[in-house]
């Protein structure tokens, strides 16, 4: 079974979309609640949203399976990235509503979780590390851009409405201060969207683990409120909204790569 797709570009930029996958193995789907089978916590349409990055010469790494199979942006030991706050785990048993992913008694065992790490998590992260190494060998540096999105209101995870653009750099440790300042300058120069840096979303495992600016790898996570490019009530992609978001994200990427 295919685990991911990797498009190799020529620019020092790798866009990783770890929550874009929607596939569920049939035997696993049969153990899930009807609500979970629709994979509602997907980062909907981020693959379509970031397709423009190919034109910029970016590499794109995209999983096939849903985050309900395994969350590629969590550490393999499932240590919480946000201690004391509600979150979901490596092999989630709760949805973003707090409701169950699995039918009673069908939750994965520790052995099954370990098997999923080897089958799905490890290949994705090996590919990610390999592509970053390739880009560094060619360019002497690499930018890892983590593309994410989430509903603008998720009471189980955060209070109130999420800002439109949520920049995460692990409190400034996953990229150089100058690079973060250039991205923030782009956001500050516009007035169409609200934004925050290192707010509720500070960057997940991938950003924190692979971001090593002293070694030539900068990592940035962008968590978009889904209402900026889609209709959250109907689940439909909104092309005009998305085009505006794409234009701003492109300016952010240009600034980051400057």
Longest distance between any two alpha carbons in the chain, whole Å:
52
Q: How confident is the model at residue 79 (pLDDT cuts 50, 70, 90)?
A: low
Any idea where the domains of the chain sit in the sequence?
A: 4-257
Q: Examine the pLDDT at 130 and tell me if it is beyond 80.
A: yes
Q: How confident is the model at residue 148 (pLDDT cuts 50, 70, 90)?
A: very high
pTM of the model: 0.94
Tens of pLDDT, residue by residue over 85-129, are 656 689 999 999 999 999 999 999 999 999 999 999 999 999 999
Written out in words, the top-level CATH class of the domain with range 4-257 is: alpha beta
Tens of pLDDT, residue by residue over 37-76, are 999 999 999 999 999 999 999 999 999 999 999 999 999 8
């Amino acid at each position: 079974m295919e685990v991911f797709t990797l498009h190799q570009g020529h620019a020092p930029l790798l866009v990783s979309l770890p929550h874009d996958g929607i596939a569920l193995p049939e035997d696993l789907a049969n153990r899930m609640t009807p609500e979970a089978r629709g994979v509602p916590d997907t980062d909907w349409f981020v693959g379509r949203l970031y397709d423009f990055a190919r034109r910029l010469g970016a590499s794109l790494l995209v999983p096939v399976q849903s985050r309900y199979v395994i969350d590629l942006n969590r550490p393999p030991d499932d240590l919480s990235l946000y201690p004391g706050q509600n979150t979901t785990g490596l092999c989630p048993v709760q949805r973003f509503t707090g409701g169950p992913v699995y039918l009673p008694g069908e939750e994965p065992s520790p052995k099954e979780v370990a098997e999923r790490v080897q089958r799905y998590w490890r290949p994705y992260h090996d590919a990610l590390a390999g592509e970053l190494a390739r880009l560094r060998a060619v360019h002497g540096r690499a930018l890892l851009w983590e593309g994410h999105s989430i509903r603008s209101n998720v009471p189980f995870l955060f209070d109130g409405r999420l800002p439109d653009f949520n920049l995460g750099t692990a409190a400034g440790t996953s990229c150089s201060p100058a690079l973060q300042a250039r991205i923030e300058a782009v956001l500050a120069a516009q007035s169409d969207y609200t934004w925050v840096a290192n707010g509720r979303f500070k960057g997940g495992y991938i950003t924190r683990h692979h971001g090593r600016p002293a070694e030539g790898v900068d990592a940035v996570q962008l968590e978009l409120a889904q209402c900026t490019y889609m209709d959250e009530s109907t689940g439909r992609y909104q092309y005009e909204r998305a085009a505006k978001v794409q234009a701003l994200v492109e300016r952010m990427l240009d600034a980051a790569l400057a």
